């Protein structure tokens, strides 16, 4: 594992400056799709070519995303058949899937099969959980339904960009929001052998983490002004975190994960605690984290406690740490929809097309949101 990324093996060459690659977004009316559309609107090398909606084909994007109306006022959602036509005809294409798990894999499979029949090889970043495991059996043990495209699992790598120098597969599975924050905090502890590989993780997420559809238990009126744990030590992301941490660090670690619902809309805050493997004070841990992420433009290691508001709406991650000589605690704040989903996906797509990793992603936080 290394913290300095590079272009992917066999990447399709560097496009001409300012050539805009058509981007396709699946799961079009969802929260993550909305964040993808916001980011792509400001991206110098991507342009939105089509946004698929299963539930609202033909309807204006601006109805689902009024905050994006000034950019996408004339654009409507497309049905799957039109997305397929585009992929069959476009020389290159960047596909982002923000569909739910279980839906994403068969959809991506069908689109890639159609594109391949015309000799086209679009690049895919799947933000759902469908391609996070290497085997269908691992997926099925967690998600309790058959995998939708087991034949494609080896075409995807699941990692945060900061933890993989060279991508060897044509497509990427985004690890997700809780996992991104947990991995950014944990992998240095494991890779540098700073901590005993038994980690205790408390994570707090904002309500957008549960998506657009309000259901009992995740609906914002029930969550605001409240704080509570859920799926304690049994959350579906724990095995995904374990697998990603193993791939990134080479260490088989245990993660005791306790997620919480936070009283805010955007953001994730994670605290990872472990027993130190050797004596190290706070300054030593901070210095190790800074060295580890020295070439990671989106990771900022700070002596101050990371705050969700300082990273909300951005692709940045703020990390800090403390040690009492026996126990180390690393804290991390990210935006769940951006770094934890859409921004991390664009970061990967930048690398897949051989562009600077930061392209279109460096806008600072608004502050006081």
Ligand X SMILES: NC(=O)c1ccc[n+]([C@@H]2O[C@H](COP(=O)([O-])OP(=O)(O)OC[C@H]3O[C@@H](n4cnc5c(N)ncnc54)[C@H](OP(=O)(O)O)[C@@H]3O)[C@@H](O)[C@H]2O)c1
Q: Which residues bind ligand X (CB under 6 A)?
A: 27-33, 53-56, 98-101, 103, 127-128, 176-177, 208-209, 211-213, 336-337, 340-341
- Complex with ligand X: residue 306 or 343, whichever CB lies closer: 343
CB of 314 to ligand X, least distance (A): 14
CB of 174 to ligand X, least distance (A): 6
Q: Which of 293, 301, 338 is nearest to 319 (CA)?
A: 301
- Complex with ligand X: residue 166 or 212, whichever CB lies closer: 212
Tokens of 46: 């991507």
Residue written as token pair 């290394």:
2
- Complex with ligand X: residue 174 or 351, whichever CB lies closer: 174
3-state secondary structure of 311: helix
- Complex with ligand X: residue 45 or 101, whichever CB lies closer: 101
Helix residue ranges per DSSP H, 57-133: 61-64, 69-72, 80-89, 104-117
CB of 367 to ligand X, least distance (A): 21
CB of 28 to ligand X, least distance (A): 4
Residues linked to residue 327 through DSSP beta bridges, in sequence order: 275
CB of 293 to ligand X, least distance (A): 21
Which residue is at the shortest CB distance from ligand X? Answer: 30
3-state secondary structure of 32: helix
| Angle (nearest 5°) at CA 19 between 17 and 25 | 130
Which position among 93, 158, 177, 244 bears the catalytic label? Answer: 177
- Complex with ligand X: residue 98 or 330, whichever CB lies closer: 98
CB of 313 to ligand X, least distance (A): 13
What is the helix (H) or strand (E) element at residue 333, kind and residue range?
strand 327-334
How far, rounded to the nearest angstrom, does the alpha carbon of residue 262 sit from its chain's CA centroid? 19
Tokens of 124: 């895919």
CB of 342 to ligand X, least distance (A): 8
Q: Which of 143, 142, 178 is nearest to 160 (CA)?
A: 178
What is the tally of helices (H) and strands (E) in the chain? 12, 13
- Complex with ligand X: residue 18 or 215, whichever CB lies closer: 215
Residue 319's φ and ψ, nearest 5 degrees, are: -125, 145
- Complex with ligand X: residue 180 or 323, whichever CB lies closer: 180
User: CB atoms < 10 A from the CB of 114, how many?
Assistant: 17
Asked about 18 being catalytic, the answer comes back as no
Residue written as token pair 């990447």:
11
Cα 297 to Cα 318: distance, rounded to the nearest angstrom: 11
> Which region, left, alpha or beta, applies to residue 288 given φ > 0 means left and ψ of -120 to 50 means alpha?
alpha
In eight-state DSSP terms, residue 8 is P
Cα dihedral sign, 199-200-205-210: positive
**Active site residues per annotation:** 177
């Amino acid at each position: 594992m290394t913290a300095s990324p590079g272009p992917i093996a066999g990447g399709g060459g560097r496009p001409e400056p300012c050539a805009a690659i058509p981007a396709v977004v699946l799961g079009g009316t969802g929260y993550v799709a909305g964040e993808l559309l916001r980011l792509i609107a400001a991206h110098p090398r991507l342009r939105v070519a089509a946004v698929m909606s299963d539930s609202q084909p033909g309807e204006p994007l601006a109805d689902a995303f009024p905050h994006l109306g000034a950019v996408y006022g004339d654009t409507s959602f497309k049905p799957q058949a039109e997305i397929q036509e585009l992929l069959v005809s476009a020389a290159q294409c960047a596909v982002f899937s923000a569909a739910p798990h279980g839906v994403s894999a068969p959809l991506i499979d069908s689109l890639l099969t159609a594109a391949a029949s015309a000799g086209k090889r679009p690049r895919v970043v799947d933000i759902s959980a469908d391609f996070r495991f290497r085997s269908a059996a691992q997926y099925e043990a967690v998600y309790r339904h058959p995998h939708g495209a087991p034949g494609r699992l080896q075409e995807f790598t699941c990692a945060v960009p900061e933890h993989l120098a060279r991508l060897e597969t044509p497509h990427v599975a985004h690890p997700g929001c809780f996992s991104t924050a947990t991995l950014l905090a944990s992998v240095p502890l494991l890779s540098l052998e700073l901590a005993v590989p038994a980690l205790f993780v408390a994570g707090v997420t904002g309500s957008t983490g549960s998506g657009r559809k309000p259901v009992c238990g995740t609906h914002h009126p029930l969550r605001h002004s409240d704080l509570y744990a859920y799926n304690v030590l049994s959350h579906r992301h724990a095995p995904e975190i374990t697998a990603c941490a193993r791939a990134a660090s080479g260490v088989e670690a245990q993660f005791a994960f306790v997620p919480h619902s936070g009283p805010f809309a955007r953001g994730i805050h994670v605290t990872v605690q472990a027993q130190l493997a050797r004596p190290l004070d706070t300054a030593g841990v901070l210095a190790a984290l800074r060295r580890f992420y020295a070439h990671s433009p989106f990771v900022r290691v700070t002596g101050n406690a990371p705050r969700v508001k300082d990273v909300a709406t951005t692709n940045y991650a703020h990390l800090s740490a403390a040690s009492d000589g026996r126990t180390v605690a690393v804290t991390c704040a990210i935006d769940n929809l951006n770094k934890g989903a859409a921004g991390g996906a664009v970061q990967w797509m930048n690398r897949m097309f051989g562009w600077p990793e930061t392209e279109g992603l460096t806008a600072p936080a608004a502050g006081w949101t």
